């Protein structure tokens, strides 16, 4: 099933910059650019193919301080920065010496994507989806979601002046409902679980001609936005690839796109094609890709998620097999960590580097720790950690574990005693 | 009362870059750089005086993408970017056409400071305070606080490997306690109100030689960090000053420093010295400066705060008279808005631009609206709004006003009906 073209698409040829075709991931069938996400030939996911032409560092450096500086490597129009959209990206890459010391390794870099407009990497993919969707003539931005994606879609649609339609399970935490509802789109709470919401989204995507479901019918464009994480890391390192990078796995899309981003930078001569290893991080309560990696399988057995890392809780990850390909090809590894380790990971990053990440970031940090302890990450080579979301959104995960050192009466003596001074 | 020098200060001459002296705001008495905040001569606040030398746009543009690009205009060491600290700044300046349209004006820019490490402008001032405090030989970073400042101090100290001591009233919202406690500093909850906590902080600042209370004994350095908001706005506008800017008022420090930043840029020839008007925004429930402005007074009568805009709830604002000076000198104005208008301001910004701000940002937006309606802001000239904090931290302010459009059963028909399709 694929979505039909948007209503106004006949009046305009979409300008998707360097993008030229869609190609199926399994057998490489090619088809014209359209809001479709599965190949009718081999039923595998469709991916954007490009004709990049020449891209120089100077062109990128002269661009805006957000993801649109990489527009020549994305399926977006050539004047994308002039069109109302959120302006994600250009987030900090922090040299994390105290974390490195705590982990017993030489050098760690933290890519802190909490600085995005709605504080997660989802702003990157949604901004690209919106830019492409506009070219296809859509005028409604939609998604099924349980958190970060809902925030990003509702915010981007508000900024663009589009209607947003976001479907959520009605049991979602109140904070996540509020941070989506505030943008005043059409937020619909469904009396069902995530599977129900996803099913309804797929149904609506098939019948609503002018609706772009970011992670359904415009998914090939949407997912390309994750490449900008790789682009930024490489540019911020001074135009070179890192030797080791740890990426959290939900659907697996981000990990494969980080790899794609590094390869494209290398192929275009923007960086030297030095070897790099990609490592994957999962929560044990939803670790189908980690389990497949451990077993040496090339397919992924779906699981029923049960973890506090809800933004990673996809039991049947669409890009699982491709994640295994990337990790095996680059010589990386995949590990998973318990919920307790996730919280420890959150606290370790906060304590050492002053960055408060959500549970997904805790998964990344804790998995890195485990990969170091088991000798899979080389302690003598640099390690980049992708921190993709914000602790303010998952306060419940740490709520019972942290608090004031002491509660005292309002006297200087009491404070001194509590502080041991 | 002033703090004594830090313990290790005798072993090292502080390198505070272009800073040369402290000068009293009232009578201009000069004294050497030291961790002191009140003049012993005239009892007025001390401010940093500089010998800038030559500062060129190219020097700034070649600097890091954070506030340290302006190090030649701040009281920080010349190698400040090499020393562990948070890396705030370089936040987005958004052209807000949809908000402008809603407000009935020609052009609005939103400076979105929610992109900072702990999502408020406090990261700017705390980073400068930390950099200066290190030069004075301190090794503990401390503050009394009720929210954003606590987050920023605890995070910056963690990143630097310093001990932090943060005093809060024990009645603070659980979310604000968690977002400070996670950094694992010494967070002390006091059985008292904000006044009690402030009193204890002043007491401890006087007796603890190695403790830098960011907003007490190193306040002259700390407050200079707010200039970076002005510097960034001017640079992001293409090296020019805006004609109108609206700034929220708590202690009033930020507003006076925004003005100072614009003047310094002009004096150094980094921008043309074009006229600009500075406007102040308060919540009616804590509007002593607005009341003084309206009455034509040059002093400020303290009030007892009662507003949802808690990060602005300073009833006796130290820089109140200087705010009045700046606003009167530049031809601006000050207004205040009700809590209901604050929430409307939050929702207006979210709905039109996809930016979710805290109550202080709601004050700024709502005040701008009022200043436009009363003809004090010129609708034909551009307006810059400083959005200094994040809506995720003040969810309680909007909690009862927003929510899903509908809650429906898990059927496509129910969703279609709810959406009117």
Answer yes or no: is pLDDT of A248 > 70: yes
CB contact under 8 A, A92 and B182: no
Rounded percentage of chain A residues whose pLDDT exceeds 90: 92
Buried b (16+ CB within 10 A) or exposed e, A261-273: bbbbbbebebbee
Nearest chain B residue (CA) to A184: B351
pLDDT, one tens digit per residue, over A205-237 is 999 989 999 999 999 999 999 999 999 999 999
Of A118, A188, A200, nearest to B404 by CB-CB distance is A188
A6 secondary structure, DSSP code? P
Interchain contact B347–A (C-beta under 8 A): yes
Interchain contact A1–B (C-beta under 8 A): no
**How far, in Å, CA of A360 to CA of A342, rounded?**
8
Q: pLDDT tier at A11 (50, 70, 90 boundaries)?
A: low
Return the axis-axis angle of helices A174-181 and A148-160, rounded to nearest 10°. 10
* Per-residue pLDDT, B392: 94
**Residue A132 phi, psi dihedral angles, 5° rounding:** -70, -40
Q: pLDDT tier at A1 (50, 70, 90 boundaries)?
A: very low
Task: Say if strands B334-337 and B277-283 run parallel, antiparallel, or are unpaired.
Answer: parallel
Q: What class, spelled out in words, does domain A92-119+223-397 have in CATH?
A: alpha beta
CB contact under 8 A, B415 and A188: yes
* Per-residue pLDDT, B193: 84
> Which residues on chain A are in Cβ contact (under 8 Å) with B352?
158-159
Instruction: Identify the three-state secondary structure at position A384.
Output: strand
pLDDT, one tens digit per residue, over A264-320 is 999 999 999 999 999 999 999 999 999 999 999 999 999 999 999 999 999 999 999
Interchain contact A297–B (C-beta under 8 A): no
pLDDT, one tens digit per residue, over B328-345 is 999 999 999 999 999 999
Place of tokens 């490597």: A73
Residue B48: both structure tokens together: 């940093």
Beta carbons of A155 and B355 less than 8 angstroms apart: yes
Interchain contact A393–B (C-beta under 8 A): yes
Residue A37: both structure tokens together: 């996400």
CB contact under 8 A, B390 and A395: no
* Per-residue pLDDT, A74: 98
**How far, in Å, CA of B144 to CA of B90, rounded?**
27
| pLDDT-wise least confident of A11-25, A384-398, B271-285 | A11-25
Of B158, B408, B419, nearest to A351 by CB-CB distance is B158
Of A117, A203, A347, nearest to B182 by CB-CB distance is A347
CB contact under 8 A, B351 and A184: yes
* Per-residue pLDDT, A173: 81
Answer yes or no: is pLDDT of B3 > 60: no
pLDDT, one tens digit per residue, over A378-419 is 999 999 999 999 999 999 999 999 999 999 999 999 999 999
Q: pLDDT tier at B11 (50, 70, 90 boundaries)?
A: low
Instruction: State chain B's mean pLDDT as an integer.
Output: 95
Of B182, B192, B392, nearest to A402 by CB-CB distance is B182
Tell me the mean pLDDT in the region A360-368: 98
- Testing the interface with B: which of A184, A200, A344, A354 to mutate, by most B Cβ within 10 A? A354
CA-based nearest residue to A75, from A14, A19, A133, A2: A19
Of A94, A117, A398, nearest to B178 by CB-CB distance is A398
Min Cα–Cα distance to chain B from A410, Å: 6
pLDDT, one tens digit per residue, over B212-269 is 999 999 999 999 999 999 999 999 999 999 999 999 999 999 999 999 999 999 999 9
Instruction: State chain A's mean pLDDT as an integer.
Output: 95
Q: Is B137 left (phi over 0), alpha (psi -120 to 50) or beta?
A: left
Vertex B346, ends B344 and B347: CA angle to 5°?
65
Nearest chain B residue (CA) to A393: B392
* Per-residue pLDDT, A139: 95
- Cα distances (angstroms) measured from residue A89 to each of A128, A229, A283: 12, 8, 26
HEC string for B315-384: CCCCCHHHHHHHHHHHCCCEEEECHHHHHHHHHHHHHHHCCCECHHHHHHHHHHHHHHHCCCCCCCCCEE
pLDDT, one tens digit per residue, over A156-191 is 999 999 999 999 999 888 888 999 999 999 999 999
Interchain contact A65–B (C-beta under 8 A): yes
Residue B294: both structure tokens together: 């309206």
| Residues 6+ away with beta carbon under 8 Å from A137 | A5, A6, A7, A8, A9, A10, A11, A12, A210
Q: pLDDT tier at A7 (50, 70, 90 boundaries)?
A: very low
pLDDT, one tens digit per residue, over A294-309 is 999 999 999 999 999 9
Residues 298..337 of B with a Cβ closer than 8 Å to A: which?
none
Answer yes or no: is pLDDT of A6 > 60: no
Tell me the mean pLDDT in the region B5-31: 82
Rounded percentage of chain B residues whose pLDDT exceeds 70: 97
Residue A45: both structure tokens together: 């996911």
Answer yes or no: is pLDDT of B140 > 90: yes
CB contact under 8 A, B403 and A177: yes
* Per-residue pLDDT, B5: 44
Answer yes or no: is pLDDT of A5 > 60: no
Beta carbons of A278 and A245 less than 8 angstroms apart: yes
- Cα distances (angstroms) measured from residue B266 to each of B54, B68, B269: 13, 19, 5
């Amino acid at each position: 099933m694929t979505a039909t073209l948007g209503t106004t698409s006949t009046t305009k040829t979409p300008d998707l910059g360097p993008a030229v075709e869609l190609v199926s991931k399994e057998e490489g069938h090619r088809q014209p650019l359209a809001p479709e996400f599965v190949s009718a030939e081999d039923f595998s996911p469709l991916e954007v193919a490009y004709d990049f032409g020449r891209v120089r560092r100077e062109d990128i450096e002269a661009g805006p301080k957000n993801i649109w500086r990489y527009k020549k490597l994305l399926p977006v129009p050539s004047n994308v920065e002039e069109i109302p959209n959120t302006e994600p990206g250009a987030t900090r890459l922090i040299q994390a010496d105290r974390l490195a010391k705590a982990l017993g390794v030489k050098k760690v870099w933290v890519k802190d994507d909490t600085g995005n407009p709605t504080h997660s990497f989802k702003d990157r993919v949604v901004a690209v989806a919106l830019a492409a969707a506009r070219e296809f003539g859509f005028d409604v931005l939609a998604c099924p979601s349980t958190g970060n994606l809902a925030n990003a879609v509702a915010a981007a649609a508000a900024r663009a002046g589009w209607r947003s339609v976001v479907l959520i399970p009605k049991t979602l935490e109140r904070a996540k409902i509020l941070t989506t509802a505030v943008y005043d789109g059409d937020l619909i709470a469904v009396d069902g679980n995530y599977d129900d919401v996803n099913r309804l989204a797929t149904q609506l995507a098939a019948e609503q001609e002018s609706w772009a479901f970011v992670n359904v019918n415009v998914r090939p464009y949407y997912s390309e936005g994750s490449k900008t994480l790789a682009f930024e890391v490489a540019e911020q390192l001074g135009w070179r690839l890192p030797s080791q990078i740890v990426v959290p796995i939900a659907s697996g899309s981000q990990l494969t796109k980080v790899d794609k981003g590094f390869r494209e930078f290398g192929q275009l001569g923007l960086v030297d094609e030095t070897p790099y290893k990609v490592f994957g991080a999962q929560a044990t309560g939803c670790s189908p890709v980690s389990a497949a990696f451990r077993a040496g399988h090339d397919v992924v057995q779906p699981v029923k998620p049960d973890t506090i890392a809800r933004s990673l809780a996809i039991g049947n990850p669409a890009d699982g097999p491709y994640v295994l390909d990337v990790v095996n090809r680059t010589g990386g590894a995949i590990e998973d960590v318990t919920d307790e380790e996730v919280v420890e990971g959150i606290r370790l990053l906060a304590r050492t580097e002053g960055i408060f990440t959500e549970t997904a970031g805790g998964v990344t940090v804790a998995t890195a720790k485990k990969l170091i302890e088991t000798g899979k990450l080389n302690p003598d080579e640099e390690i980049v950690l992708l921190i993709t979301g914000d602790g303010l959104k998952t306060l419940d995960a740490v709520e019972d574990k942290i608090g004031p050192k002491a509660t005292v009466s309002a006297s200087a003596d009491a404070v001194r005693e509590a502080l041991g001074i």
